[in-house]
A = this chain, B = another copy of it.
Amino acid sequence: MTTDDARLTPSPHPPSRGTLYGVGLGPGDPDLMTLRAARLISDATVVAYPTLAGCESFARSIAADLIGQDVHEIVMDVPMTVERAPAQHAYDKGAAEIAAALEAGTDVVCLCEGDPFFYGSFMYIFARLSETYDVEVVPGVTSVTACAARTGMPLAARNERLTILPGPLPAAELQARIDGAESVVVMKVGRHLSKIREVVAGLGLLNAAVYVERATLSEERVLPLADAPDPAPYFSMILITKGADPWL
C-alpha cells in the first residue's frame, strides 16, 4: 500500500512504512555494482548519500547514470572535523529526513561506495533507524578485493590469515599486525604513506607490497610501494602478500 493510494481512497489499514535500503555500489567502476543494487537505484524515487565537506559524492558519481531525473535526493554533508559531534549532527539530520520519507510510505535507497558495512558511513544511519524501520543491507564489492584483482595478487588461500588495518594506526601496532598475517591490506593510506612504508621496509617486505590508487576507475594507478606518492590520495591502499606458493 502506498500513501498515494491512501490519499485517493480512505483505507481501513494505515499506509505501510517504506523500507530503507543500504546499497553497496562497489569500488568505483559502475559495472562492478550488483544486479540488485542497479535495480534498486533504477526504481528509486528517493536516494540518500553522504558528501564530505561539500565535495562531490563519490557514491553518487558511481550510481549517477541510474538515478532518474525526478528523484528526490537527501544529501548528508559530513564536515571533516577532529571532534565527532558535527558529523553526528549531520547523520542525525540525514536520518530524520530519511525517516520522514519512510513514514510517508516511500522506500529510500542509501548509496554507499564499496560495501555499506565495511568502513562505510551507512552504519551511522543504520544505528539510528534500524530499530524503527525495515532496513535491508545490500552488500557490495569492497575496494580490498578490487585492488587484489587489479594487481593480480591473490589475497588469501587455504589456512592463510588476512588482516585489514587502517593506515592511521601507530607504527608499532602496524608492525606487529603486519608481521602476524600472511596477507595484509592497509586502508586509508593518505598522509600516512611514509610511516607505513618505513614499517613495511623494516620488516623486509617492500618487494611484497603494492600500492593501488583509485582501483577500477580510469585514473587507477598500481605501483610498487617503493614508488608510491607521498602523501597518497584518500582512495588508496597497500596490499602485502607473503602467502604460500599459489601453484600448490
Which residues of A does B touch, CB under 8 Å?
Answer: 24, 26-27, 29-36, 38-39, 84, 88, 115-120, 122-124, 126-128, 130, 135, 137-142, 145-146, 148-150, 152-166, 168-169, 177, 180-181, 246-248
In the complex, the answer to whether B36 meets A34 with C-beta atoms within 8 Å is no
In the complex, the answer to whether B126 meets A156 with C-beta atoms within 8 Å is no
Q: CB-nearest residue of chain B relative to A159? A: B166
User: What CA separation (Å) do A140 and B161 show in the bound complex?
Assistant: 19
Tell which of B119, B127, B149, B180 touches A117, judged by Cβ atoms closer than 8 Å.
B149
In the complex, the answer to whether B139 meets A126 with C-beta atoms within 8 Å is no
Residues of B within 8 A of A152 (CB): 126, 130, 135, 137
In the complex, the answer to whether A117 meets B153 with C-beta atoms within 8 Å is yes
Residues of B within 8 A of A128 (CB): 247
10 tightest A-B CB contacts, nearest first: A137-B149, A123-B154, A127-B246, A31-B36, A139-B145, A115-B145, A162-B164, A117-B148, A139-B149, A117-B154
| Smallest beta-carbon distance A182→chain B, Å | 10
In the complex, the answer to whether B164 meets A163 with C-beta atoms within 8 Å is yes
Tell which of B30, B156, B165, B166 touches A35, judged by Cβ atoms closer than 8 Å.
B30
Residues of B within 8 A of A127 (CB): 246-247
Residues of B within 8 A of A126 (CB): 152, 154, 246
User: What CA separation (Å) do A38 and B32 show in the bound complex?
Assistant: 10
Q: CB-nearest residue of chain B relative to A30? A: B35
In the complex, the answer to whether A163 meets B166 with C-beta atoms within 8 Å is no
Residues of B within 8 A of A120 (CB): 154, 157
| Smallest beta-carbon distance A245→chain B, Å | 8
Residues of B within 8 A of A35 (CB): 30-35, 38
Q: CB-nearest residue of chain B relative to A188? A: B159
User: What are 17 residue pairs bridging A and B, where the CB atoms are less than 8 Å apart in the complex?
Assistant: A26-B34, A27-B139, A32-B36, A88-B248, A117-B149, A118-B155, A119-B158, A120-B154, A123-B157, A124-B247, A135-B152, A137-B152, A140-B141, A161-B164, A163-B181, A164-B164, A180-B180
- Excluding A27-B139, A32-B139, A117-B155, 11 further A-B contacts by CB distance (< 8 Å) are A24-B145, A32-B35, A88-B248, A116-B149, A117-B145, A117-B149, A117-B154, A124-B247, A137-B150, A142-B145, A164-B164
